[in-house]
Structure 1
């Protein structure tokens, strides 16, 4: 396999550009070029090629000004060079961005760090939502593990598990409503495992759900689950008919609960479908 580092050792200039060709930085400084070569040190050539065009490209030229290599830079993690059969993982992905910042071009590093903070916050939010969703689930951990991994048991088996230890159909409905309202609580854009409680609720007659919501132990957490279930996309076989069977006073209470949701889609869709 060709040696990219050996090729770049011949470079006397480097031009960093956006993928659209806009100039970002240019250098002919030998020390800076050495630092750039180090920033592009490859750990391993992968067996995949990123589908996008990348974030930056670096054009290297030799002493005669003739281009000797063009290296694409992807997601502060990999590079692309036509001497490799696929993309290559960098030894230190963000090193190029730190190199640019040291050269007086801090923007790419700042944007990367902002994105990393946003991703970390999103992952933390998802972890908290998953913990909440699991805590409200009327199922053992072993089954929840399978669900989160995308290997849920059959619906009948899950319903049988939920019914175990619950004496009445409304009690089963309450357990599923609390679970449906847990996690992110969003109407859309949630992790796939959060769709399961609503699918199980679809097997419960709407009259039983209404009866459950009328029990003294029903709380706004159960009502939030009902909102999420009833405003879902085709969440029930005859959704419009079933919503029509929910008493007007209960629908108004559900809309009131939905108004307190932090998710604007939930608020808007609840007003449209239940109001």
Structure 2
């Protein structure tokens, strides 16, 4: 299926690792032009060298960006629009897990705020500053990375669970707010993904993580969903959450 992404300009946060990196490579294979945002400049440089080897890939620019810093986000968005003549799609992959396995009373307020700053405020800032440029696109689209934790919770993950629930509702609010401007906003909600962050949180290697007694998906699988939602091929889809969790959310926990 032709996704219609060749020559489109895609701004991607959290691009240097995990799901963001997989998305960058997937968009490059579709011929998109990429603005890569991440706090890790070294990993960003490595990614750019890798993208340059992808057949048919468009040009890419890297901007060291802390998505919780409004000045950083504004600068990256405006630089992207100036370099490429506009922005067609924005993908918010930047996120942190915060304290995992930590009881409520042991979570510091600063830790909670940091998770919300990156995972929620970061997405808001991307939307706020990219909206004028997406409005000028023929098919402006925004895809945010939420989680199955937007719907269900596990103990020891209060900051993360709260942040991902907020991203889900932010997606809905933005889709309503921007619909009149022709900008679509959707989110992808994966369960456990084999990324450096997940491996660090769970104390696993890639091999041991994928051998656990629950299914684990690869970042490339999540990237496929992001590509579709960011592309003109999904033009009628707006304000939705694509849950990628092997069907677990649909299962009742009632012991019957």
Q: Same fold (TM over 0.5)?
A: no
Whose radius of gyration is greater, 1 or 2? Answer: 1
Higher relative contact order (CA 8 A, sep 6+): 2
